[in-house]
Amino acid sequence: MENKQKVIHPIPPLYDEDSKILILGSFPSVKSREAHFYYGHPQNRFWKVLASILDENIPETIDEKREMLYRHKIALWDVIAECRIKGSSDASIEDVKINDLDRILKKADIRQIYVNGQTAGKMYERYAKEKFKRDIIILPSTSPANAAYSLDRLINDWNRIMDQLR
């Protein structure tokens, strides 16, 4: 028997009126939900990748992470507002309700939306694209489940976000 539970996204979006790009994940992992902040699993490479391409020290605290994103005009949220999910398994996601991205898109001049991984890309295309009428660029997942990608390869592929931040 599957023990999926209905989970409501517990983390508010991170953005301000100066945000230029929006990075969307699919839905926060159990560790991120517990930490009440994005990419909270210690094995997720998101913060290492971003710090590298932004030429910053790897942020340790939530405040340092938040400050780095604001400093570089990066907004952060997830495609999914609510779903049924088993643990942190993206593959188990069903009964999806999407976040209202207009909350960010109407306040900030977002030049490009990037998504962290194929699942976030599929969820956006399936549930959000028609409503928000914005194209996305899918970047390889920083999740530890994406073992095919080395840290160097992730950094190389994620570096394309700098095109919109210059």
pLDDT tens sequence across 22-81:
999 999 999 999 999 999 999 999 999 999 999 999 999 999 999 999 999 999 999 999
pLDDT in tens, 144-153: 889 999 999 9
CA 17 to chain centre: 18
- Bin 95: left if φ > 0, else alpha if -120 < ψ < 50, else beta: left
- Report d(CA 58, CA 162) in Å as an integer: 17
Kindly report the CATH number assigned to the domain that includes residue 119. 3.40.470.10
Question: For the chain, how many structural domains are there in total?
Answer: 1
Work out whether the CA dihedral 30, 34, 40, 41 comes out positive or negative: negative
CA distance 127 to 62: 29
The catalytic residue among 44, 57, 99, 146 is 44
**Containing structural domain, residue 48:** 5-165
Tell me which residue of 15, 113, 114 sits closest to 69, measured CA to CA.
15
| pTM (two decimals) | 0.95
Q: Does residue 1 register a pLDDT over 60?
A: no
Question: Would you call 44 a catalytic residue per the annotation?
Answer: yes
